[in-house]
Structure 1
Amino acid sequence: MKSLSIQILEETNGLSEGVPISAKALLHLGNRAAVDQALSRLARRGKLLRARRGTYLRPVESRFGERAPAVKKVVEEAQARSGEIIVSSGAAAANQLGLTTQVPVRQVYLTSGPSREFRLGKQVVEFRHAPRWQLTLAYRPAGTVVRALAWVGPNAAKQALRSVSQKLTSEEIRELKSAAGSLPTWLAKPVSELVLHA
């Protein structure tokens, strides 16, 4: 009979990159304590990566050897499985829009779910719970603007919005203006005053 560790590896072999592996999903192979121990042993031997307590990932085989799953894949899987909104942080949004040249050192994502961290090899990815208004228009360019302005803060938001609005289409400005009611007053006022391009 195959060992529990081998059964777990065989069971998880066909998983897509970034799919989380947990003991609960493997209880058909053995009792909880035995599955937890087997997962822990596999992580110590480098066959699995321990992303966080109770969550493991398969390393990805490449022609250069094994690597941790791509952050984007882990984020997509977390989003698909939990139903949470997960978007790039305000610092990343500000960088993307040219409001700062600083590149964030840590990979931080804002989420509608609980805050948590994942270890992907040597890289730490943080999911930080954010207020609902920062997740407005989550996957749209206008939502990126909202997160960037939240990051620059009340004192710099008006100037930053003036700069960013030049890069937005009329449709994106309309979207942003339509979200003004869900934004805090310090941000809603300059957003509602935006003028559409000709």
Structure 2
Amino acid sequence: MQTTSQAIMAYAEALPEGATLSARELLHLGERAAVDQALSRLVRRGELMRVKRGLFAQPVKTRFGTRAPSVEAVVEHIAKSTGERVSQSGASAANLLGISTQNPSRQVFWTSGPSRHLKLGAQSVELKHVPSWQLRAPNSRAGHAFRALAYFGKSEAAHALRRIKATLNEEEQRELLSFRASAPTWMAKELSALASSQ
């Protein structure tokens, strides 16, 4: 007969990279105390990683050994399972667009959910709660431009927007301008100035 640990690992191995597990979704495999004990044993043996308290992921086995699952895959799975919106942070968005050379020392994602820290092997990841207007179009270049502009702030907005505009095609610029209604006044003003200059 399969042990609780074996049943958990069989369940985990059927999931895609970055999928997370919690005791609550494993209660069909045993009583809560048995599931908790099995999860702790699996972490100690290195078969699962504790991403944060109560949340686990399976390391990825490669021919070079095991590694943590990709940060993006874990964050994407958390967003899907919780229903929250998640995007790159403003600093990461600016870096992605090539308008900032600063490489953030740790990965930060903006979220509509609660702020929390994740640990993926040696990597520390922060999910930071932000107002919903900062999460417009979380996966588009125009959305990244919007977050980059918010990151540079009011004092650097005009200069930053000129640099941002140069990285976007016409369709992306139109999409960026369409976000004016949800932007704070200072951003809406800069975006309106850009619209009138076109």
Instruction: Please give the TM-score of this superposition, normalised by the length of structure 1.
Output: 0.93
TM-superposition CA deviations, 1:12-47 (whole Å, max 9, x none): 222111111111111122111121111011101111
Is residue 120 of structure 1 aligned with residue 120 of structure 2?
A: yes
Q: Is 1:53 equivalent to 2:70 in the alignment?
A: no
Letter in 1 for 2:12: T
How far does residue 98 in structure 1 lie from its aligned partner after superposition?
Answer: 2.7
Gaps of 5+ in 2: none
TM-aligned CA distance change 1:22 to 1:180, over 3 Å: same
**Aligned pairs for 1:135-174 within 5 A:** 135-174=135-174
Seen in structure 2, the aligned counterparts of structure 1 residues 137 and 46 have a Cα distance that, compared at 3 Å, is same
Tell me how far 1:80 sits from its aligned partner.
Answer: 2.0
Secondary structure of residue in 1 paired with 2:29: coil
Q: Which runs of 4+ in 1 moved over 6 A?
A: none
| 1:5 match | 5
Identical amino acids, percent of aligned pairs: 51
- Structure 1 or 2: larger helix share? 2
Would you say how many aligned residue pairs link Structure 1 and Structure 2? 198
Contact between 1:173 and 1:194, CA under 8 Å: does it hold in 2?
A: no
Quote the offset at 1:171 in angstroms: 1.7
Q: Hey, what does 1:183 align to over in structure 2?
A: 183
- 3-state secondary structure, aligned to 1:168: coil
- Residue 38 of structure 1 pairs with residue 38 of structure 2: yes
The DSSP-based 3-state class of the residue aligned with 1:78 is helix
Q: CA deviation at 1:110?
A: 0.6
CA RMSD of aligned residues (A): 1.6
Distance 2:24 2:43 in 1: 17
* Alignment CA distance shift 1:178-1:27 (3 Å): same
User: 1:173 touches 1:196 (CA, 8 Å); kept in 2?
Assistant: no
Which TM-score applies when normalising by structure 2?
A: 0.93
1:173 corresponds to which letter in structure 2?
Answer: Q
In the TM superposition, 1:52-91 aligns within 5 A as: 52-91=52-91
Structure 1 residues 138 and 8, CA gap change in structure 2 (3 angstroms): closer
